[in-house]
Amino acid sequence: ASDTRLYQSNDKSPLQIFVRAKKKINDIYGEIEEYVHETTTFINALHAEAEIVDKAERELFESYVYKVAAIREVLQRDHMKVAFFGRTSNGKSSVINAMLREKILPSGIGHTTNCFCQVEGNDGGEAYLMTEGSAEKLNVVNIKQLANALCQEKLCESSLVRIFWPRERCSLLRDDVVFVDSPGVDVSANLDDWIDNHCLNADVFVLVLNAESTMTRAEKQFFHTVSQKLSKPNIFILNNRWDASANEPECQESVKSQHTERCIDFLTKELKVSNEKEAAERVFFVSARETLQARIEEAKGNPPHMGAIAEGFQIRYFEFQDFERKFEECISQSAVKTKFQQHSSRGKSVSGDMRSMLDNIYERITIFRNLKQDQKNLLTDRIQGTETQMMQVTRDMKQKIHTMVEEVEEKVSKALNE
Ligand code: GDP
């Protein structure tokens, strides 16, 4: 029953913009590939039989085959990538788990991972992980095992562990969203390495803050570096652990507006990545732990509020869903633009180059055909001339022989008479 629910809600998801665009562009490239292969056969024949196409041209055309194949490969791997940052224990892993509706990443004290963890969909039904530089698939049956595997591995903080999780278990993974969890921004001094290795192709960044404290310098610095390297990154800010505010209802609103103002200022005035209106739609107050618990209850068939931690669950739960909706719209549009725009302009330029080359070849074929016709005509004339000559010779010969025979006959009869 829960699977049917996933399928139903999924069809209306803004992520479908990306999914459909990906299918369409893949189909178009499939056609281009077929066309390129067909044309290659034709070009090779022109080279072998008539030498209308020279070696350099043939090689150039072959390079289009490789180009198209390379683009197709990248296309098949294209996905939407979201990366989570913030201090250790702010709840990054919990937010990812809540979005995936399952406890996939280990979270909590003692399970802090000191490396990047990427969760992506896997078509087979199995869950496994792979560490950087190794082709070995480590099977993961449950969360405990995954946590142990992550602890046991001696991993450098900027290395990457890839967790492959069955697509059918989560609609976001099925729609090609890839999640990247980072070590706390308080841990590393190698921000440049982090960004170069893990962030340049991210479509959305989520800064997970602890609503119980203020944004730190390390958290700010990280995003300053990101926005220097990427033009206008899409940044969402989650003020997590908002359930804690239920303990102090008297100052809840003032704390909220203070945080909101600071977050909006950070996005608009400091980073200059958003305008006021957009920034206001990118700041949320949530409880990841509570949302995850609610979703686990839902999966069991129970009402979501059974996962509530504190007073005010419904508002926080709606806010989390609102975040997801805006996040899905943003990531889908951004990924289509940044990823497919590139492919379609490359596709256009490759097909333009092929076309002008083929036009050129066609022209040469026409000239070649006319030339052949001329040669044929010349040859026909010559043969006709020879034939007339031969007939003349034959007639002359016949005449000569005739005369000779008559002479011989005359000589013979004369001799007999004598
Ligand atoms: P990370 O280091 O940023 O990935 O943080 P984790 O997701 O591992 O969370 C650290 C601890 O905080 C865990 O024990 C979580 O259960 C807890 N936690 C995460 N989010 C929330 C929340 O929204 N409310 C509360 N009360 N606890 C949370």
Condensed to tens digits (0 to 9), the pLDDT of residues 92-123 reads 999 999 999 998 888 765 556 678 899 999 99
Tallying the residues shown for the chain, one arrives at 418
DSSP state of 309: -
Nearest to 271 by CA among 305, 234, 239: 234
Q: What is the full DSSP assignment across 230-267?
A: SSS--EEEEEE-GGGGGG-GGGHHHHHHHHHHHHHHII
CB 15 within 8 A of CB 177: yes
Angle of helix 55-77 relative to helix 341-417, nearest 10 degrees, comes to 150
Mean pLDDT of the chain: 86
Ligand 1 atom nearest residue 97's Cα: 7
Residues contacting ligand 1 via CB (< 6 Å): 86, 88-94, 107-108, 112, 240-241, 243, 287-290, 309
ipTM of the complex: 0.99
Weakest mean pLDDT among 71-75, 321-325, 333-337, 372-376: 372-376
pLDDT value at residue 107? 77
CB 83 within 8 A of CB 92: no
CB 183 within 8 A of CB 86: no
Distance in Å, CA 89 to ligand 1 centroid: 6
Over 9-60, what HEC string results? HHHCCCHHHHHHHHHHHHHHHHHHHHHHHHHHHHHHHHHHHHCCCCHHHHHH
Number of helices and strands in the chain (H, E): 13, 9
Ligand 1 atom nearest residue 288's Cα: 23
Q: How confident is the model at residue 8 (pLDDT cuts 50, 70, 90)?
A: very low
Which residues have CB under 8 Å from 269's CB, separation 6+? none
* Mutation pick for ligand 1 pocket among 107, 240, 309 (CB with most ligand atoms within 8 Å): 107
Mean pLDDT of 277-292: 97
Distance in Å, CA 287 to ligand 1 centroid: 9
Nearest CA to ligand 1 atom 8: 107
Distance in Å, CA 238 to ligand 1 centroid: 13
3-state SS assignment for residue 383: helix
Distance in Å, CA 332 to ligand 1 centroid: 27
**pLDDT: which is higher, 191 or 249:** 249
Amino acid at the residue 118: Q
Ligand 1 atom nearest residue 309's Cα: 26
Whether pLDDT at 402 is above 90 = no
3-state SS assignment for residue 69: helix
Question: What is the pTM for the complete model shown?
Answer: 0.81
Q: What is the gyration radius of the CA atoms in the chain, in angstroms?
A: 38
Nearest CA to ligand 1 atom 26: 241
The Cα-based distances of 140 to 104, 106, 132, 177, 284 in angstroms read 10, 12, 17, 20, 33
Interval 195-242: pLDDT, tens? 888 888 899 999 999 999 989 998 999 999 999 999 899 999 999 999
Strands laid side by side in the 204-210 sheet: 138-139, 128-131, 160-166, 116-122, 177-181, 80-85, 204-210, 235-240, 283-285
pLDDT value at residue 149? 66
Ligand 1 atom nearest residue 112's Cα: 2
3-state SS assignment for residue 85: strand
CA distance 366 to 306: 79
Ligand 1 atom nearest residue 241's Cα: 23
Ligand 1 atom nearest residue 109's Cα: 14
CA distance 246 to 253: 11
3-state SS assignment for residue 132: coil
Count of CB atoms within 10 A of residue 117's CB? 25
* Mutation pick for ligand 1 pocket among 89, 94, 320 (CB with most ligand atoms within 8 Å): 94
Tokens standing for 87?
Answer: 């201090």
Weakest mean pLDDT among 7-16, 125-134, 238-247, 257-266: 7-16
Count of CB atoms within 10 A of residue 193's CB? 13
Weakest mean pLDDT among 125-129, 289-293, 412-416: 412-416
Distance in Å, CA 94 to ligand 1 centroid: 6
Interval 21-69: pLDDT, tens? 999 899 988 988 988 888 888 888 888 877 778 888 889 888 999 999 9
3-state SS assignment for residue 220: helix
Distance in Å, CA 235 to ligand 1 centroid: 20
CA distance 259 to 263: 6
Interval 310-369: pLDDT, tens? 999 999 999 999 999 999 999 999 999 888 888 888 888 888 888 888 888 888 888 888
